[in-house]
Structure 1
Amino acid sequence: MRIGAIEAGGTKFVCGVGNEHGVIEDSVSFPTELPEPTLERVIAYFSDKNVEAIGVGSFGPLDINRDSATYGYVTTTPKPGWNGYDVLGKLKKRFDVPYGWDTDVNAAALGEAKWGAAQGLDSCVYYTVGTGIGVGVLAEGKLVHGLIHPEGGHVLPRRHPDDDFPGLCPYHGDCLEGMAAGPSLEARWKAKGHELAPDHPAWAIEAYYLAQAVTGAILMLSPQKVIMGGGVMQQPQLFPLIREEVRRNLAGYVNAPAILSNIGDYIVPPGLGSRAGLCGALALGLEALTSRG
């Protein structure tokens, strides 16, 4: 099979072609600009690829309700030019193939369950922590959508006692994304995350916020695996700090060996590495193709 995959991020688009085994055979990336020039580059890439289906995992929020008049649209994003844009409609005008359409983090969760760190499990939570914070949820073998889709990057955390940063989210101020996404790190400490030393106090505060979100996900969803990716999570010192905070938050209440004695294998980086989003989009395209058949 030849499946098209699009990881539509707020900073960059990654397009690729892969097969039903999760192998990406070719890919390209380019910056996310205004919708029209960005989608024209996507169309140009796939114009000679002869794909049988295309999966799109996109930054959001999105309309993923197939019965909605705006299915396939990006909705209330603050990203200039993209609010209310019909991404799927633009692609469908050029390629008459089945489409998978979901959030980038839901796609990554699906890819990790199919080929990555959650392989063989029927539930996982995937966090991406980068320019924004997103959460994808797989429960009982199915991606969770509900009223729209999970937006766990905008939960309201308890404030760290040593932190007076007001937050950056244009909607909520000091929500999780406003306090712990990459831009908030830079605004708070006047340096990009990768420029901060591993023992900088920034990381304890970052872990404090992220661990609250993970704790809530564990208590609410009881996932079999928590996967954390994105640019900020490239700092390896974050994982032990987050695991320690999660265990402190839970205080032994969740009586599961995975947390009590083996949390290093429970809260983990993506098994697919930087390809989690693109492989997830590939998995969406594969599901669209097989469900049509």
Structure 2
Amino acid sequence: MNAAPLLAGVELGGTKVFVLRARGREIFERETIATTTADETLPAAAAILHRWQAEEPFAALGIASFGPLRLDRTAPDFGHMLPTPKPGWVGADIFGALAGALPCPARIDTDVNGAALAEWRWGAGAQSSPPSDCLCYLTIGTGLGGGFAMQGRPMHGAMHPELGHIQIRRAPGDDFAGACPFHGDCIEGLVSGPALARRFGAPGDRIAANDPRWDHVAHDIAQLVGTLLLTTAARQILIGGGVGMGRPELMDRVRAKLLAQLNGYLPFVTPDSIAAIVRAPALGDQAGPLGAVALAWSALEGVPE
């Protein structure tokens, strides 16, 4: 008999949902649902969970969702979606719909906080020496999001981090107005996939690696990374997502820009250490699904939220 606990997870993304089962950290089954409206998507995911629960009860459930979410358990709208431009999701009771009727501990958090927790448990954080007590997971794709795992717990406060809307110091000569409907040239409005398409006049994956306009993009990402290192002293900044992992040569530009911008101020960020500090996620594109599993583990172990 396998002693590893049976866990369930839901990774709720903007275009698709993964509902999965895992033994310990090993995902052995997953079903995919298109993300339409909350009224359609959540009952479909819940039906899979209830079918699996009837087959063999799971020990805990983890929900890693796009946001913004209310994560304060004392709030009357805990587990609900906060105002979002995604049609049909404002006010959706995600936690209640997925965990409310299941007789097991459950945990909900943002997808990026979940991914950070997975990387801390099993990925780059566990592989570093010493193991990371604080790491940040960034995803750069359709949007830009970021989460933290600090001492094995995701970062919360009045809300969860909203790193995509940090405003940074622009590169001299960069006159791109930005693409964020709220802030224009916040970091998401400068380097997300849609922002790159507007900046370049074509999707980023069609732009040559040696195009000089990538220098402005690298500058902007380095500004964000430097801000995070200065404010949190994170041991690692992991950059995932389609832009982050789809352009490995961009990472080298970001590192070079970061070293120049910091100008030697942070003694732990050096030419010798920077590749281990600013890097791709060790779990690759599995950081997201494993984020849901990591949240289930936290629920099972009773890790404080």
* TM-score > 0.5 by shorter chain: yes
Query: Shift in Å at residue 67 of structure 1?
Result: 0.4
| CA distance in structure 1 between the aligned counterparts of 2:217 and 2:47, rounded to whole angstroms | 40
User: Residues of 1 paired with 2:145 and 2:250: CA distance?
Assistant: 17
Q: CA deviation at 1:93?
A: 4.3
1:179 aligns with 2:179: no
Check the 8 A contact 1:252/1:260 in 2, yes or no: no
Deviation at 1:252? 0.5
1:49 maps to which of 46, 49, 52: 52
| Contact map agreement 1:111 1:279 (CA 8 A) in 2 | yes
Q: Distance in 1 between matches of 2:21 and 2:67?
A: 23
Specify the code of the residue in structure 2 equivalent to 1:34.
T
Instruction: Provide the residue aligned with 1:13 in structure 2.
Output: 17
8 Å Cα contact 2:63-2:295 kept in structure 1: yes
Q: Give the secondary structure class of the aligned counterpart of 2:44.
A: helix
CA distance in 2, matches of 1:261, 1:92: 46
Alignment of 1:278 onto 2:298: no
Instruction: Choose from 109, 112, 119 the match for 1:102.
Output: 109
Q: Name the CA distance, whole Å, in 2 between partners of 1:167 and 1:187.
A: 8
Worse-matched range after superposition: 274-283 or 91-100: 91-100
1:89 aligns with 2:96: yes
Percent identity of equivalent pairs:
38
Does residue 252 of structure 1 match 2:237? Answer: no
* Contact persistence 1:35–1:81 (CA under 8 A): yes
**Whole-angstrom distance in 2 between the partners of 1:236 and 1:137:** 22
Deviations 1:31-81 (A, max 9, x none): 321112211331233233223321111111110000000000110221111
SS of the residue corresponding to residue 126 of structure 1 reads strand
Q: Which runs of 5+ in 1 are unaligned?
A: none
Segments ≥4 residues shifted beyond 3 Å: none
Aligned residues: 290
Cα RMSD, aligned residues only = 1.6
1:78: which partner in 2?
A: 85
Change (3 A) 1:194 1:29: farther
SS in 1 for 2:18: strand
Match of residue 42 from structure 2? 39
What letter matches 1:252 in structure 2?
Answer: G
For 1:196-229, what per-residue CA distance to the aligned partner results, in whole angstroms no more than 9, with x for missing partners?
Answer: 2222234222211111010000011011111110
Q: Which residue of 2 aligns with 1:216?
A: 227
Choose the corresponding residue for 1:237, options 230, 244, 249.
249
Following the alignment from structure 2 to structure 1, what is the Cα–Cα distance between the partners of residues 214 and 141? 14
1:132 equivalent to 2:143? Answer: yes
Q: Pick closer, same or farther for the CA change 1:202–1:27 going to 2, 3 Å.
A: farther
Distance across 2 between alignment mates of 1:220 and 1:191:
34
TM-score by length of 2: 0.90
**1:259·1:266 contact (CA, 8 Å) conserved in 2?**
no
Taking the aligned partners of 1:45 and 1:202, their CA distance within structure 2 comes to 46
Distance 1:264 1:62, change over 3 A: same
Which AA in structure 1 matches 2:70? D
Give the 3 Å change call, closer, same or farther, for CA 42–220 of structure 1 in structure 2: same
Q: Partner of 2:248: helix, strand, or coil? A: coil
Q: Answer whether contact 2:46 2:97 (CA < 8 A) is retained.
A: no
What is the correspondence of 1:167-206 to structure 2 with a 5 Å cutoff? Answer: 167-206=178-217
**1:26 aligned partner:** 29
- Indicate conservation of the 8 Å contact 1:61/1:75, yes or no: yes
Runs of 5+ consecutive residues of structure 2 not aligned to the other structure: none
Distance 1:14 1:195, change over 3 A: farther
- Following superposition, the deviation at residue 30 of structure 1 comes to 3.5
Residue 96 of structure 1 deviates from its aligned partner by 3.3
3-state DSSP of counterpart to 1:28: strand
The alpha carbon displacement at 1:15 in A equals: 2.1
Inter-partner Cα distance in structure 2 for 1:8 and 1:162: 39
TM-score w.r.t. length of structure 1: 0.93
Q: Which residue number corresponds to residue 4 of structure 1?
A: 8
What is the rounded CA distance, in whole Å, between the counterparts of 1:196 and 1:226 in structure 2?
Answer: 25
Instruction: Find the residue that maps to 1:75 and give its secondary structure.
Output: coil
Kept in 1, the 8 Å contact 2:43–2:97? The answer is no
Measure, in 1, the Cα distance between the counterparts of 2:270 and 2:19: 36
* Residue 226 of structure 1, aligned match among 234, 237, 248: 237
Take 1:267 and 1:90, find their aligned partners in 2: how far apart are those partners? Answer: 37
SS in 2 for 1:259: coil
Q: Does the aligned pair in 1 maintain the 2:116–2:137 contact within 8 Å?
A: yes
